[in-house]
Structure formats: structure tokens, C-alpha cells
């Protein structure tokens, strides 16, 4: 068997030129994780000006393709056709870059690239490179239709071709059909939280009675149900709500909240997109963060960042959320996203006598498992496993 020291990782990261800025923060974090444990890191993506390079060891290779939201351009048919064209172009250009750097890398890591990485995966396999996907998604049992069937079929092909599958956290595997690929499961590829920024700056007992949400304002995130729940719990004195983020439902959410403020004297603030540098202060202002998502999540970063700030989280048990939230220990789980149930759970939590202890437990978990050092150790082990064919026998 090869000695790991003689097969040092030289990694190409293949991602996707997303329209949103969030993925580029994750990619910047990933570069920081990989830099000390690799001989070389090459990131293939569009919008690389959004990336923060960690060192000269890192090279950014821009594919000169940037996506747009599928309905941003009128007419809608043209917008979707252009979007599909860009998807194909992004895959082809990423494949060409892999050919160009074929002598400089030995591992190709697909990160936040699903489902648009089939062509680069085939290229990497033909070039004889080790291939790994860091899985940052799960699947909902409610998914149906032809599009879902096509994506599932493509996913099965990808899993068959990959040399390794690294779940962001083990919970994301529950919704994926991976029994045939148990031997490919690698160490978890979860990232880290910058606890020098995301930390407690306002003691829990000093916080006002504020409930908040941070994330995309989209139907699948449960934002409509949360807004409908607000009037049911807003009768508590001195209670207010903060809803931060942007997305397809922003105008609808803002209008509904303005109406509540005017007609029912409910204090709801909708500031829109929250800048990265302002997010720790925002989270430190909350007594509770609510994430009533029914989206096939992986491990939502906002959950980890809130916990690092000593802010309890109420979230639905989808994807890897139950990996970090143990009910009434490190947070709270929401079994139903019906507005009435959301209202009941929020009211119960705000009256919970051990709420501050839950906040302390959540912060402690982040400082134990989600530091940069812990993330680097995880990725080092993952790369060792795939390069030396050291696989886990079971999930």
C-alpha cells in the first residue's frame, strides 16, 4: 500500500457558479481547511473574485461563467433556456480546466456542485484522478415528478462513479439511497465556524424578547408559515420579531409584516439581506432563532453560527440538523411547520426554565466539534482515506 507521505494531496475543487454569494463564503472556508494539509489546491469555478484566497498555495481558475436566477430575465422561457445553456457551458469549461491541470492534481473534490458536475466527474475519471463529493444536501420524501426522477437517476450514476462520498454530516445520508455504496463513505466533510467572530457578545439574560429568522425568504424554507404564526404569539408583552434575508418571497413577507405592524401593533422588522460582518450582532440580539424549513437541507450554516453566538435554535429535523440539535439539550426540534404548532413551540421555548442552559450547551458543542482545527483534521483523514483506499465498512 502507498505511504501517505509520498502521495500528498494535490486537490482540485470543482464547484458551480451560483448566483448567490453564500456558496463563496463556504468555498473560502474550505480553502482555509485544505491549505495546511495539501501540497496544492486549485479551485475551478466562476465568480472567483468572491473568493478569499488563504495562501499562494491556492490557485483560482475562473471558468468565466456566472449563473442568474432561472426567472430573472424576461421572457421566462428565454431566461430558463439561457440558464440551461450556462449550466452546460459551466460543466464543459470545468472539464477543460481539469484536462489542463491533469498533471498537477491527484484528487478532484466536488463541493456545492450538485447536480451540475456529471461532465467534470466523467473527465476526472478518464484522467485517472481520485474523485470525492462532499454531500451537502439530503432528500425530501415529498419530492415527486419527472425532474426529480431524472435528478435521482443522475445521482445514482454519480455515486457509482465516485471514489468517495463524504457527508457534510452523517444525517444527510438518511435520505439518500447509498446501501450499495457503503464502502465509499468517508469521514464527514463538515466545515467550521469562525468563533473569533461568531461568539457571545451579549449575555443571554441581557437579551430582549426577540425571535428571529435568517436565511433565504423562499417557500421551501417555511417562511410563510412562520409569518402566519407571528400574530398567534405576538400578544406577549415586549416581544418582537426580526426576519433577515432576501429571496423570492421578500416582497410578500415585507408586505405581510408591515400590515401586522400597522393593524395589529406587532413589532416585526424585515431588514432584508444581512451583511456578513453584521450577522454576529444580529444573532446576539435574539432569544431564539427559528428555521421551519421543509427543504432537503444539509447542515445549515446559520444554525451553527447561531449556536456559536449562544442563541438557541428551533428547527425542523431535516438533513443533518438532528446531528447538532438534541431536543431540549442543544436546541429544539420542530416536528410540524403548521403555523399553530410553530406558535405553540415558540411560546413553550420562551417559557422553558432551562433555556439559558440549552444556549450554553449549543455554544459548547460548536467550540468542541466545529473549530477550524477539528475541520482540518476531518479533511486530512478524508483525503487519507480516498488516496490510500481506506474506506469505512459501513455507513
What pLDDT is recorded for position 20?
Answer: 85
Contacts of residue 320, defined as CB under 8 A and 6 or more positions apart, other chains included, come to 138, 167, 168, 169, 170, 171, 172, 297, 298, 299
**Which cell is 163 given?**
471514489
With CA atoms as reference, report the closest residue to 67 among 18, 118, 103: 18
Mean pLDDT of 312-324: 95
At 128 the three-state DSSP class reads coil
Alpha-carbon distance of 382 to 188, in angstroms, equals: 7
- CA end-to-end distance (rounded Å), the chain: 24
Helix (H, G, I), strand (E, B) or coil at 121: helix
Helix (H) or strand (E) holding 82: helix 76-100
Residue 157's pLDDT band (cuts 50, 70, 90): very high
- Choose the weakest-confidence range: 14-23, 232-241, 257-266: 232-241
Could you tell me the pLDDT band of residue 5, with boundaries at 50, 70 and 90? low
2 band by pLDDT with thresholds 50, 70 and 90: low
* Residues 6 or more apart in contact with residue 335 via CB below 8 angstroms: 316, 317, 341
Q: Is pTM beyond 0.85 here? A: yes
245-283 per-position pLDDT tens digit: 998 899 999 999 999 988 888 899 999 999 989 999 999
Cβ within 8 Å of residue 351, ≥6 positions away:
none
Q: For residue 140, what pLDDT band results from cuts at 50, 70 and 90? A: low
* Helix pair 118-126, 146-161: axis angle to 10 deg: 20
Residue 308 per-residue DSSP state: H
Amino acid at each position: 500500500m502507498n505511504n501517505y507521505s509520498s502521495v500528498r494531496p494535490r486537490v482540485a475543487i470543482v464547484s458551480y457558479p451560483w448566483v448567490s454569494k453564500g456558496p463563496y463564503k463556504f468555498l473560502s472556508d474550505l480553502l482555509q481547511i485544505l491549505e495546511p494539509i495539501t501540497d496544492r489546491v486549485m479551485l475551478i469555478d466562476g465568480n472567483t473574485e468572491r473568493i478569499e484566497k488563504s495562501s499562494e498555495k491556492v490557485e483560482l481558475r475562473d471558468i468565466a461563467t456566472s449563473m442568474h436566477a432561472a426567472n430573472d430575465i424576461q421572457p421566462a422561457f428565454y431566461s430558463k433556456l439561457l440558464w440551461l445553456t450556462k449550466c452546460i457551458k459551466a460543466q464543459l469549461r470545468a472539464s477543460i480546466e481539469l484536462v489542463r491541470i491533469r498533471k498537477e492534481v491527484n484528487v478532484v473534490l466536488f463541493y456545492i456542485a450538485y447536480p451540475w458536475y456529471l461532465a467534470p466527474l466523467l473527465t476526472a475519471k478518464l484522467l485517472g484522478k481520485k474523485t470525492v463529493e462532499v454531500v451537502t444536501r439530503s432528500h425530501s420524501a415529498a419530492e415527486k415528478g419527472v425532474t426529480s426522477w431524472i435528478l435521482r437517476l443522475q445521482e445514482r450514476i454519480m455515486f457509482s462513479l465516485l471514489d468517495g462520498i463524504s457527508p457534510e454530516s452523517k444525517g444527510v445520508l438518511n435520505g439518500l439511497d447509498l446501501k450499495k455504496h457503503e464502502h465509499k463513505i468517508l469521514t464527514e466533510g463538515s466545515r467550521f465556524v469562525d468563533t473569533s467572530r461568531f461568539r457571545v457578545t451579549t449575555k443571554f439574560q441581557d437579551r430582549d424578547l426577540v425571535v428571529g429568522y435568517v436565511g433565504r425568504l423562499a417557500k421551501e424554507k417555511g417562511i410563510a408559515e412562520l409569518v402566519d404564526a407571528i400574530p398567534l404569539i405576538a400578544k406577549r408583552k415586549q416581544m418582537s420579531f426580526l426576519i433577515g434575508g432576501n429571496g423570492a418571497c421578500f416582497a410578500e413577507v415585507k408586505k405581510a409584516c408591515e400590515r401586522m405592524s400597522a393593524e395589529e401593533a406587532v413589532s416585526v422588522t424585515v431588514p432584508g439581506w444581512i451583511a456578513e460582518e453584521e450577522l454576529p450582532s444580529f444573532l446576539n440580539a435574539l432569544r431564539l432563532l427559528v428555521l421551519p424549513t421543509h427543504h432537503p437541507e444539509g447542515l445549515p450554516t446559520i444554525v451553527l453560527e447561531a449556536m456559536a453566538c449562544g442563541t438557541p435554535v428551533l428547527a425542523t429535523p431535516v438533513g443533518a440538523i438532528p446531528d447538532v440539535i438534541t431536543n431540549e439539550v442543544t436546541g429544539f426540534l420542530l416536528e410540524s411547520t403548521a403555523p399553530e404548532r410553530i406558535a405553540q413551540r415558540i411560546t413553550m421555548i420562551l417559557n422553558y426554565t432551562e433555556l439559558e442552559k440549552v444556549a450554553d450547551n449549543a455554544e459548547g458543542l460548536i467550540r468542541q466539534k466545529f473549530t477550524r482545527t477539528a475541520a482540518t483534521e476531518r479533511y486530512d483523514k478524508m483525503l487519507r482515506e480516498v488516496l490510500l483506499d481506506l474506506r469505512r465498512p459501513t455507513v
